[in-house]
Amino acid sequence: MSEVRDIVLRASNVAKTFRSPNGENLEVLRGLSMEIARGESVSLRGESGAGKTTLMNVLAGLESPTRGEIFWDGRRVDRLSNSRQARLRSGFMGFVFQNYCLVPELDALENVELAARICGNFGRAVRERARGLLARVGLEGRMRHLPSQLSGGEKQRVAIARAIVNSPRIILADEPTGNLDESTAESVMEMLLSLCSHEGASILLITHNPAFARMTSRALYLERGQIAEV
Amino acid sequence: MKWWLYIALKQLFPTGRPASFFAAVSVLGVALGVLGLFGTQSVMNGFHSQISEKLRDTSGDVIIRNRGRPIENAEELKAKLLKLPGVKGAEIMAGGPVMMLHKNVPAFPMLRSYDTISQDCALPIKEKDFIRMGSIDDLDDDSVIIGQYMGASRGISVGDTVEIVAPTILDKMKRDEIPMPVRLKVVGLLASGYSEVDGNIALVSLRRMRDLYSLGGAAHSVILRLEDGADCSKWAKEVGRKAVDFPFTVSTWLTSNESFLRVIKMEKVMMSLIIVLIIIVASFSICISLYTSVLRKTREIGLMGAMGARPWQIALTYCIQGFIIGALGSVAGLALTWIILHFREPIVEFVVGRQTLIDFYHFAHLPVKYELVDALRACAFSTVLCTLAGLLPAFRAARLKISEAMRNE
């Protein structure tokens, strides 16, 4: 029982098949299983087109698996409606994307607050938390700047603060440093991992960079639709 | 504040800027539509109101006739009608077409009587100061008051003498009498402000009118003036028609001028319909702009979905934007209408010239009457239309698949 409670995210025998335009079935995930424990940082590498993002989408409930089961905190979610999944996801998961995905009309602080608002939280406490997180990622003086006024590294730090604002159980980061130069990427990655560790959140980090993969507690490799421990 | 309302507001009014270009142009577009719709309706209401007032002032509230025949016992009928509830005054009236000669130039006005003895009058001749360059009190059996436009067009002025020949001349000729025209002195000009009256009506004493038409003690109608604010149609139906017996007929100024009033009303409806079409076209533009916004923000919509936004909440974000544009545009449109119509005089002067207004409508000022129901209708119509314009983009946004939206380039 205690082991079940410690598992934040579990995929069991998950398969995902797409139908190609010429009518052929393309099996991207082939009955893979994996678990991520509470506070654990896991990296996932693989060739381009191996299905890393598809796996992340399936784990996050953004796409339904063709077969298999997904559990969030021990609760099976792949059979829930989209609406129900969305409600659970808002407090359970945070996302960091390669292309930042900040709302251009909102400044840095408002972008961080948006995730909390969608989760149903707003008010002074949320604002203070957002301010605190932005300060922790080194953007104390840039809170009122619009995304267009921030550098790539700064944007990604805003995205990290946004991912963490709801104190999620797990962060799914899809190549978060893909658009950054080497030194910025390294500092962003360190920041992401330390913040997750500090907040007690697990992280699934999709990356091409073996050095970043080594920074996590466990490294996985996705090949031919199956997961391999590295 | 709900996040979808927050995002809708932020997309329209982004941080650091008063409004997005799209919001500013859309609100202005709706405001101009509402200005067109409410402005036109207000001016048409003004025309309708002014013309109605003139018609009522020059026709009287209720008219009792004897199916085209003279009313022999007019005094008796008048006394009976004066006792009815809601009746403020009654006037015995005789009238009809005559030939009027001035310096051998003929005119064919309608002559209308005024009882110079009792001075009972169903028209507000004294209260509204209808007589220029003279007074109704100057009228006697040997004088006439002519409409000001008739005077102007025939070159007749106060102090001139005109000759009147009534149709009853034929009866006299049949009796081998030598009919002589009646010479009357012009003692004033009638200026009711209604061109139909001021161009065609002349006033003579009741006694002179009876004499011209050989009526004896009879009259053509009894005209009633009701208490202020009375509903003439209701009074005629509930009181008047029950009080007078056959063969008398009871009509009101509304029924007498029904066709004319209907034309004005129809004109208002037609003009409103044309402007409604313009607002519908504007709403299509809003729909297209919002739809483009959805396409441009596909990845952001996907992000919101990933962060836990439900499809209906995403849809609301766009519907609300349409609603906000409609509501703000409506309020701005009402304000714009008020400002423009408040300063309408110089605008009318600049666009058509005041003389045109006087020549065609005989109004010195462009009449305006604001009606709450028109304002509410214009606002509701624009707001609903703009909200509907947001539906298609909202539907598209709600249907986006999050994973595909996130991959959008």
Alpha-carbon gap, residue A135 to A100, rounded angstroms: 18
The residues spanned by each domain of chain B are 3-53+260-407, 60-256
What residues contact B295, with CB distance under 8 A and at least 6 apart?
none
* Residue B374 CB-half CA count within 13 A: 24
pLDDT tens digits, residue range B26-48? 899 999 999 999 999 999 999 88
A132 pLDDT band, cuts 50/70/90, is very high
A16 strand-pairing partners: A29
CA A107 to chain B, closest CA, distance in angstroms equals: 7
- For residue A4, pLDDT over 70 is answered with no
Give one DSSP letter per residue of B375-393, joined into a string.
Answer: HHHHHHHHHHHHHHHTHHH
Contact A164, A172 (CB under 8 A): no
pLDDT band at B409; cut points 50, 70, 90: low
Q: What's the structural domain count of chain A?
A: 1
Q: How many CB pairs under 8 A join A and B?
A: 82
* Nearest residue, CB atoms, B308 vs list A57, A103, A118: A118
Of A99, A118, A144, the CB nearest to B307: A118
Closest-CA residue of A relative to B401 is: A62
Average of per-residue pLDDT across A200-204: 91
Q: How confident is the model at residue B352 (pLDDT cuts 50, 70, 90)?
A: confident
> A134 is in which domain, residue-wise?
2-229
In a mutagenesis test of the B interface, which of A103, A121, A170 is the best target, namely the one with the most B β-carbons within 10 Å?
Answer: A103
Q: What angle do CA B134, B140, B142 make, to 5 degrees?
A: 105
How is residue B163 annotated by DSSP?
E
* Pairing outcome for strands A218-223 and A41-46: parallel
CA distances from B303 to A95, A169, B306 (A): 9, 18, 5
User: Using one digit for the tens of pLDDT, what is the confidence trace for A145-197?
Assistant: 999 999 988 999 899 999 989 989 999 999 888 878 888 888 888 888 888 88
For residues A16-31, average pLDDT = 88
Listed by number, the residues of chain B in 293-332 with a beta carbon closer than 8 Å to a beta carbon of chain A are 299-300, 302-312
Q: Contact A97/B406, CB-based, under 8 Å?
A: yes
CA distances from B357 to A32, B201, B250, B351, B397 (A): 85, 22, 35, 11, 52
Residue numbers in A near B403 (CB within 8 A): 54, 57, 62-63
The answer to which of A162-171, A205-214, B169-178 has the lowest mean pLDDT is B169-178
- From the CA of A44, how many Å to the nearest CA of chain B? 18
Q: Does residue B358 register a pLDDT over 80?
A: no
- Return the SS3 of A97: strand
CATH number at residue A62: 3.40.50.300
A115 close contact with B: CB closer than 8 A: yes
Lowest mean pLDDT among A38-42, B225-229, B338-342: B225-229
Mean pLDDT of chain B: 87
Spatial strand order in the sheet of B87-93: B87-93, B221-226, B62-65, B249-252
Distance CA B102, CA B147 (A): 14
The model carries a pTM of 0.76
